[in-house]
Every structure is written in C-alpha cells, then in structure tokens.
Structure 1
Amino acid sequence: MDQPHDNLASHSRPRQGFWGLWNISFGFFGIQIGFALQNANMSRIFQSLGESLDDLALLWIAAPLTGLLVQPIIGHYSDRTWCRFGRRRPYFFAGALFAALALFGMPHAPGLLAAAMMLWALDASLNVSMEPFRAFVGDMLAKEQHMAGYALQTAFIGAGAVIGSSTPWLLDRLGVANVATGSGIPDTVRISFYIGGGALFLAVLWTVLTTREYSPEQMARFEPSEEPSTVEPDTAPTIPAGGPLWIVAGLVVVVLVHLWALEKELYLLGALLAAYGIARIVARRLYRQGRGDNLLGHVIGNFATMPVMMKRLALVQFFTWSALFIMWIYTTPVVAQYVFGSADPKSAAYNEGGNWVGILFATYNGVAALAAPFLLQPLARRIGQANTHAFALMLGALGFLSFLFLRDAQALLLPEVAIGIAWASTLAMPYAMLASSVPQAKLGIYMGLFNAFVVIPQLLVATVMGTIMRHVFPTEPIWTMAFAAGVMLLASLATLRCREN
C-alpha cells in the first residue's frame, strides 16, 4: 500500500512519485473501459434490437440525465464522508461493483426497454465511480502536481478506452461471430461486455487497495494559511432569487413545442428548466428559514454562486461535450453508410463498419493517452493551460470537419488523431484549472456540479439532434459531423476567456 503521508506536521501535501500518481489514477483505466464499451456499442445494440436511426438520440437521454442527478449528490456527500475506508474510495468502489454487474447484464437485455434501463443503471454506476475520482486527484496532490495528476488520469482514460473500443474488433479477428442470428446482439459485443465488467472492477479495486486517503486532521494541516472553509465542509451558501424566471423559461419551451408541433422529447428541456426553478425557490425559502444546510441548499446554492473561472470553463464544456456526444451517437451510422456502404444494421457491411468505428475510437483514445503527458503537459508549461486547450479544441474541430470529405476507412484515422488531442485536453485541462481555483472543501461538489455542463449539452443533443435529423436530413447523418465541428470551434474560442492571470 502506498503510504506517503505519515508526517502530520507537514504543511503541504507530499509530492507524489510516479507510482503514487499511478495508484491514484489507475481505477480510471477500468472506468473508461466501461464508458468506451457504452459509447462505441450502445447505438449498435439499440439498432440491433430494432430501433430506427432518428430515434437513437432519444434512447441515449437516460445516460446524461443520470449523470446530471448523480454527480452533484455524490460530490456533496463525499465531501462530508470520512470512515475507516476513507473519503472518496467507498463511493468509487460501490459504483464499480454495480457498473460491472450492469456490463455483465447488458448483453442479455431482451428488448429496447430493457436495454435502455440497463444503460441507465450502467451510466448511474459509472458516474458514482467517476465523480469521486476527479476530486480524489485534487485531494491527494498539491496544486503544482494537479496538471501531472490529471494528465496521467487522461493517459489511463485513453488506454482503457482503446481496450474497450477495440475489443469487438479483436474478437472478430479471432473468429468470434460478429453478426447475430435473428435480432440478438453479436457475440463480439456480448463477450466484450463480459471482459469490460471484470476489468473495470479489478482496476478500481487496485486503487482502493493501494492508496490511503488523508485524514481530516491531515487535510487541516496541509493549508494552514487558507480560510477554514477550504479544508472543512462549508456552511450553506446564499441562494439568490430568480427561481420564477427559470420556471417561466421552462413553460415557454413547453408552449413553443406544442404550438410549433415539435418533437415531444423537447418537452424534457422545458421540464428541466422548470424543475430547476422550483428547486431554487424551495432552497431559497429553506435558507431564509435557517434550514438551508442540506443537500438541496448546497447543490442549488453552489451552482447559482459558482466562481467566475468555473462559469467560464462551463461555457467551454458546454460546447465541447455537445460535439463529443454527436460523435458518439452518430459515428457508427455515418461510417457504416458513407464508408462501408450500408445503412442496414443487420447487414454484414454495417457490422463491419461498426467494428471499424471501434478502431477509430480506439485511435483517438490511444492518441489521448500519449498526448496528455507528452504533448499537452509540456505545452501548457510554455503557453499556459487555456491557450493549450484552445489549440487542442481547434484541432478537434478540423477532425470532425474531415468526415465530410473522407470516404476511405484508413484515411479516417487521420482526423481521429486530431480528435484524440482534443479529447486528451478535454479530460485534463478544464479539471486542472478548476481544481486549482476552487476551495478544497468544495472540490467534490464543484466537480459534481461541473458535470452539469457535460450533461446539459448531451441532453440538448439527444433531444434537438433527433428533431433536426428528422426534418432536415433524415437519410444523411453525415451532416451531424458539420454540427460537431461548429460547436467544437465555439468551444475553442470560449477557452480564450479562461486564460490564467
């Protein structure tokens, strides 16, 4: 077990060596295997079970909506947890256990509803594990090592995603059946989910067994010059007015959807806006009655009063993850139709295209694993984290744009290199900047709230993109990549407002 911090008299976190950084982040290797299997194969599973192309986005809503609810809750409680097993470790261990069970069960889903429910369970469990891991790096490392910690975490994310994305392709090469009989799921996908479940659980278990978290007493000694709220749970934050305006905004969306006969899934957007407004009114009323020190008060209060740097990073995340979610949903239909010549999910050509998408996803994740520690980290030291992130996102936009012109399977590997650099930066730079700019005591809840700007764009894509597909280009999914390029470009420009002083 790695025990680098027995010196209670120390006033700063001990500097971690390579193996300390390794042990802290290794669990993310397994978590990303689970995410990669989900991202690369769920559209394929849904279509294999009979779902049409223009309804794919709707079935993906469960995943981001789950993250929106789960991560702030887990962040809030992990900030306030201390037991014999630590502060963050109990959460990511429990999440890994249930995520592994969901991966084992996913291939046996008897129909679309069951598959959607399993996706919900899988994403909830992965989010329970992922959120504390983000805060765990900030807990364990001094500020000057944040970039190194998140860079190595990104390397593990990339490596795990390579394995998760490429496993069906490798199994196909080993002779495992890649086309299911009837309407079932191919054996290549089914066995990949079994392998992923085992790898996820064992990787998280490694971090649980090889690390020991700092006690509350040690955390209090590390930063004696800071205000007490940076090392102890904060009191209930002030909750500003404005709840009724959010409710009105939600009702306006609902009315417009009805009057303009838009797709019914857009009602979800209005419901979310109205629900936030109601929650804000309730939290404000409790606060004014002296009863604001609760989960709702902390989540709504900290969200409404987040630091300026977090707000700027939130806009970057909003645009970035809109592009990424478009990629995860539509790359398989795009590649299968335009490169392999089939839009039929039961055809051999379509499934060959699905396997190649796994290789494309493995490529960008493999590039990310190398780019984070060996390209982006040195570059950030020279030109700053914000400038580095803006450059990386610009490359990602060019990568998405290339899909409109390339029709050769091998040639698609080139834009994946550019997307991989953007992905590496997305997984490291915003979190390093955030962890260094918020109070330590709020790191868990701020990391959880920060996830809202990963989830909200996914919900928008899952609802709005399906509508656009139906009405503008119902049989031409290639144009989704143009949308992805455009919003990634906006993310790059928004990053320039996050330059460090």
Structure 2
Amino acid sequence: MKKMPHLSFWQIWNVSFGFLGIQMGFALQSANVSRILSNLGADLHALPLFWIAAPLMGLIVQPIVGSASDRTWNRLGRRSPYILGGAIIAALAMFLMPNASIVVSFMPVLLFGLLMFALMDGSFNITMQPFRALVADMTPAEQRNIGYSTQSFLINAGAVLGSILPFVLTNLLNISNTAPEGQVPPSVIWSFYIGGSALLLSVIWTVFKTKEYPPEEYAEYKGIDTKAEVDPKYKGFVGFFRLLKITPKTMLQLAIVQFFSWFAMYIMWVYTTPAVSQHVWGCEIGDSSSQAAQDAGDWIGILFAGYSLFAALFSVIMSRLANKIGRKTVYGFALFIGGIAYTSMYLFKGGDMMHVNLLFTQVDVPSSALLWMLPMIGVGIAWAAILAMPYAILSESIPADKMGVFMGIFNFTIAGPQIISGLVAGSLLKYFYDGQAIYMLVLAGISMILGALSVTLVKPQKSNP
C-alpha cells in the first residue's frame, strides 16, 4: 500500500473552505427560520414539527449522496460534483425562502415557507455530506484531527458571519428589522441574499482549488483492490439495508452520544428565540411581532454568533488537545461543559435596559441579555467538538471504499434525535412547561451531560489508513 502524502495547511484549508459559506447559510437558517415561520403565521407549539423537515431531508439525502459519490468519477472529481450541485440549489432556496409572502395568490405562504425550508436544508445536506468524506479521502490518518478541526473552524467562522448578518444590517445599515404581519423583515431577506451568494462562491473555491485523487491513485493510498468487483449483495435498495448489518461498532457506540448531543442542539435552535424573548425581554407567550420580540430575535443572531466564535477559537486548539490527551477525552469534556452552559441559562433573566457599545453599533438591551454570552462559551466548545471529534473517530473505522455511504448512514445519528425531539418537544413545552421555553434549554443541558457520560462507551477501531 502506497503511503498517502501529507497536505500543506492551505491544502487542508481549501478542502473545507466551502463549509464557510454553507455554514453561513445554515446559521441564517438556525437563527431565523423559527422567526420567519412565526412571521408567516406558525404557532409556537407547532415550530418543532416544521423543523422536522430539516433532519428528514438529511435522513433521506445523505446516504444516497454518500453512496453515489463513492462510485462517481468525472473531471470535477468524486465528491465535488455533489458539493457544487447542492450549493447551486441551496443558494436558490435561500433567495426564495424569505420571500414566501409573494406567493399568497396561489399557495398558502406557510406551506411555501415550509417547502423552501425543506429544499434549502435538503440541498445543504447534498453539499455537506461529501465534505465529510472529502477530508477522509484527502488526508492520511495522522492529519485527520487537524483536517476535521480546520473544517470545524471554517464552519464556525461562517456561522459567526451568518448569525450577525441581520443584526448588522439593522444596526449598521439601518435596514428595517420589522415588517407587517405575514411578511418577513427586510434585514432578514437581505441576509439570506448575501448568505446564498457567499455559499455559492466559497463552494466554487473548494471545487476548483482541490484536486481529488484519481480512482487508481486513491486505491493505492487506501489499499483498495481495484480488480475486485463490488459485492452485488450491497448494491441497490436492498443492498443498502445489508450494509447496515456490517456497520462498524464504533458508529453504533457513537450513535448513543450523538442522540443526546443532537437532541440538545435541536432544542436550542428551535427554542432559543422564544426563550430569550420571554425570559429576557419579558414578552408574552406567542408574541412574535412586537418590537421587543423583534429586538430579541436580532439578539439571537449575536448569541449564535458568540457560540460560533467560541467554537471557532476552540477549534484552533482542539486538534492539538486531541493529539495530546485523546479524542474521547476532548469530546466528553466539551459535551459536559456544554451541558452545564445550557442549564445555567435559566439564571439570567430580565434586568434593566442598558446601553451597550458593540463597536460596529450601539444597542439597548436588558442587562441579562449580555450575561447570556457566558453560557455561549460552553455551547461553543461543545459545538466545535460535535462537528469534529465524531468524524475523526469514525473515519478510521470505515472501509475506504465505503467512506461516503457510511458517512451518509452516520447522518441517521444526527437526523434521528432531531426528529424525535421535533415530535415530543412541542408537547413537553405545552403540557409540562406551560409554554415557558427556557425550561426546554434546561432540558437540553441535561441531555448534553448524558451525551458526555456516553462518550465512555465509545471504543475506537482502525480499519482505514
């Protein structure tokens, strides 16, 4: 077997650079879709059901794209055709999503918003899945930590930019953050335009700056017998389910951790907006159109930018920590810190309005709004680890010729807990927490701590150079 060459830092950077734009789009989705759907008429308790569209699309799309990319080769490469195709669709969906109100004459706006949300998230998944496999394709085992940590850094750098866009447009460029009932604020609309453009341009950079190894060379590096025929029992629809039977044990062990950590992240994305508007700004349950609710929505962008910034900073040292003390230790520690951070959010409530200078603008917010940035440090640390450590651990346990499809199957462990969360969260909020969304974030903290404890169950295996 031929030894795989080491990549330079900038080669590793280029491999994942497209994720900068993808995550700008995903951050805009995470921070603003609940807001958009509420503006279009969605009920607070129904929001988790709308959000199920996201993991459902991942559940369907990622294994299909992963399996197809394992068998693809053309002049763009193996993974790049899917990365570029998904980016084009995602950019178009981002341009359309906040304009749902224009279709009122021939389709219910809420239905159109839901369809655009599903299309946007589905295309994100088409683009993201090959990126996970691309890092494993291009890096030798000893560079996996830095490969996935660099990807985590770029993901979170993009998330910072995407999260603050509506806030910056409102407070720096004076673009309105309010709109009549049934419409989306101009600041959100323009943010989606900018985010979609950035997504497409950054992906184009990766596609044309990364030269994937041709099949013969890739086979030499990975020890794949190119003369051996693909086992027919793993082909087609039935073959996919047979693949599940040979799923690496490491993936099944990681699935437990993934359940608790992604259950928590889903709750945060859905309920941080109502939690902050109720718990910090003192808005009534169901209020999504008042000025206070809109100001709280803008502040969510700052908070999400905060946890993404802290995640990006932690990503810089994460690979070194993983090399020194082990991936599992870093993973478990990060999730535990994240769990403590979530539960602490309950402590920061209301307060007098205070004037805050954010360098690029000045705003008036309740005093506790600033204190919410403290738990975002812990959330950021957990998020950085969630984005990198499971993939670094898993990539060495997957046969190289099935990297794409197993990375796609691994998405079940992300989509599954989000779907379950979407099905039960609304009922929990309504019947157990009386509509007080802050308690959902406390629940997210407990779930994240359980995820940290579950890391001890993971026993890494090696089958891929």
Q: TM-score, normalised by structure 2?
A: 0.91
| Partner residue, 1:295 | 236
Report the Cα distance in structure 2 between the residues aligned to 1:128 and 1:13, rounded to whole angstroms.
27
What is the correspondence of 1:14-163 to structure 2 with a 5 Å cutoff?
14-110=5-101, 111-163=109-161
Determine if contact 2:35/2:297 at 8 Å carries over to the other structure.
yes
Report the Cα distance in structure 2 between the residues aligned to 1:228 and 1:373, rounded to whole angstroms.
37
Please list the CA deviations of residues 183-204 of structure 1 after superposition, one character each: whole Å capped at 9, or x if unmatched. 2100110000000000000000
Determine if contact 1:386/1:499 at 8 Å carries over to the other structure.
no
Instruction: Classify the secondary structure of the residue corresponding to 1:447.
Output: helix
Gaps of 5+ in 1: 1-9, 237-291
Counterpart of 2:145, as a letter, is M
Determine if contact 2:39/2:181 at 8 Å carries over to the other structure.
no
Instruction: Classify the secondary structure of the residue corresponding to 2:416.
Output: helix
Report the Cα distance in structure 1 between the residues aligned to 2:445 and 2:418, rounded to whole angstroms.
15
| Partner residue, 1:354 | 297
Q: Please, which of 231, 236, 241 is the counterpart of residue 235 of structure 1?
A: 231
CA drift of 1:293 comes to 4.1
Please list the CA deviations of residues 234-265 of structure 1 after superposition, one character each: whole Å capped at 9, or x if unmatched. 525xxxxxxxxxxxxxxxxxxxxxxxxxxxxx
Gaps of 5+ in 2: 102-108, 350-367
| Partner residue, 1:429 | 389
CA drift of 1:403 comes to 1.1
How has the CA–CA distance of structure 1 residues 182 and 487 changed in structure 2, closer, same or farther, with 3 Å as cutoff? closer
Determine if contact 2:12/2:150 at 8 Å carries over to the other structure.
yes
Determine if contact 1:404/1:478 at 8 Å carries over to the other structure.
yes
What is the correspondence of 1:473-492 to structure 2 with a 5 Å cutoff?
473-492=433-452
Report the Cα distance in structure 1 between the residues aligned to 2:432 and 2:314, rounded to whole angstroms.
37
Report the Cα distance in structure 2 between the residues aligned to 1:341 and 1:145, rounded to whole angstroms.
48
User: Identity of counterpart residues, as a percentage?
Assistant: 44
What is the correspondence of 1:100-499 to structure 2 with a 5 Å cutoff?
100-110=91-101, 111-174=109-172, 175-224=174-223, 228=225, 234-236=230-232, 292-343=233-284, 344-374=287-317, 376-407=318-349, 408-499=368-459
Instruction: Classify the secondary structure of the residue corresponding to 1:363.
Output: helix
Instruction: Classify the secondary structure of the residue corresponding to 2:131.
Output: helix
| Partner residue, 1:284 | none
Please list the CA deviations of residues 194-238 of structure 1 after superposition, one character each: whole Å capped at 9, or x if unmatched. 0000000000000011111101110122144xx638x978525xx
CA drift of 1:497 comes to 1.7
Determine if contact 1:232/1:441 at 8 Å carries over to the other structure.
no
Q: CA RMSD in A?
A: 1.5
Counterpart of 1:484, as a letter, is A
CA drift of 1:107 comes to 1.3
Determine if contact 1:233/1:442 at 8 Å carries over to the other structure.
no
Report the Cα distance in structure 2 between the residues aligned to 1:169 and 1:100, rounded to whole angstroms.
21
Q: How many residues align?
A: 433
Report the Cα distance in structure 2 between the residues aligned to 1:428 and 1:12, rounded to whole angstroms.
24
Report the Cα distance in structure 2 between the residues aligned to 1:154 and 1:233, rounded to whole angstroms.
36
Counterpart of 2:406, as a letter, is Y
Please list the CA deviations of residues 323-366 of structure 1 after superposition, one character each: whole Å capped at 9, or x if unmatched. 00000000000001110111311101111111111111111111
Determine if contact 1:79/1:233 at 8 Å carries over to the other structure.
no
CA drift of 1:500 comes to 4.6
Report the Cα distance in structure 1 between the residues aligned to 2:321 and 2:250, rounded to whole angstroms.
21
CA drift of 1:318 comes to 1.1
| Partner residue, 2:357 | none
Instruction: Classify the secondary structure of the residue corresponding to 2:335.
Output: helix
Q: After the TM superposition, which of the residue ranges 337-346 and 387-396 deviates more from structure 2? A: 337-346
How has the CA–CA distance of structure 1 residues 233 and 373 changed in structure 2, closer, same or farther, with 3 Å as cutoff? farther
Counterpart of 1:323, as a letter, is A
Report the Cα distance in structure 2 between the residues aligned to 1:83 and 1:45, rounded to whole angstroms.
39
Counterpart of 1:380, as a letter, is A
Report the Cα distance in structure 1 between the residues aligned to 2:380 and 2:188, rounded to whole angstroms.
24
Q: TM-score, normalised by structure 1?
A: 0.84
Instruction: Classify the secondary structure of the residue corresponding to 1:346.
Output: coil
Report the Cα distance in structure 1 between the residues aligned to 2:127 and 2:201, rounded to whole angstroms.
13
Report the Cα distance in structure 2 between the residues aligned to 1:169 and 1:485, rounded to whole angstroms.
27
Determine if contact 1:316/1:495 at 8 Å carries over to the other structure.
yes
Report the Cα distance in structure 2 between the residues aligned to 1:228 and 1:363, rounded to whole angstroms.
47
